[in-house]
Amino acid sequence: MTVITAKWTIDEYHRMITAGILDDRRMELLKGEIVEIFAEGEPHAYFSSEAGEYLIQLLGERATVRSGKPITLPNNSEPEPDIAIVKRLGREYLEHHPYPENIFWLIEYSDSSLEKDLQIKTKVYAEVEIPEYWVVNLIKRQVVVFRDPQDGEYASKTTLTKGTISPKAFSDLAISVSSIVNI
């Protein structure tokens, strides 16, 4: 017997949301599959909130920092990264969530979702050429930086526990690793 998994489009996913089918559950769409979002523990909520505030102050008017909001990707995905640093398009975001071309980089905070964030989401983001993706491993207190998407994979992967990171989109900025991991 062959098992066939039903795949959903972004349009169908939005219709389910509008109809209230997913009201009592935290979900995201990844490559056509509806995936449950793990509940945030206190460390996850604390670190992602503090890092979001730090990045808002650091970036000022250069970018918009969106926390826990959807992004829309052409591979039938609508994930909700913990932090998305996107172009300042103002009211245009009333019409659509950020698309790949609007995104500077994404950050996920992970403990219970570490496997999903390091394996599944890395491929989802690389496939649509998100230029940079950071996974903050809350267990090991490190930042894994993925860059240079090529053929559905990131060509560069660096793991940091201290020092600074300069995002590709803002190479003049030095973001303290400790301000992302150990706030």
Q: Do 153 and 102 touch, CB atoms closer than 8 A?
A: no
Interatomic CA distance for residues 165 and 171, integer angstroms: 9
**Cα–Cα nearest to 109, from 78, 146, 134, 84:** 134
Token readout for 100 is: 């790949």
Q: Where does the chain have alpha helices with state H? A: 10-19, 42-59, 114-115, 121-127, 177-181
pLDDT digits (tens, 9 = 90+) for 137-167: 999 999 999 999 999 999 999 999 999 999 9
User: What pLDDT score was predicted for residue 183?
Assistant: 66
Alpha helix (H) ranges present in 20-109?
42-59
pLDDT in tens, 56-78: 999 999 999 999 999 999 999 99
Q: How far is 33 from 156, CA to CA, in rounded Å? A: 27
**Which pLDDT value is given to residue 23?**
87
Give strand pairing partners of 107. Answer: 83, 134
Instruction: Specify the amino acid at residue 31.
Output: K
Tell whether pTM > 0.85.
yes
Tell the burial category of 84 from Cβ atoms under 10 Å away from its Cβ (0-12, 13-18, 19+).
Answer: buried
pLDDT per residue over 75-122, tens digit each? 999 999 999 999 999 999 999 999 999 999 999 999 888 888 999 999
The torsion angles phi and psi of 83, rounded to 5 degrees, stand at: -140, 130
Tokens of 158: 């660096």
Q: Which residue ranges form the domains of the chain, and what is each CATH number? A: 40-181 (3.90.1570.10)
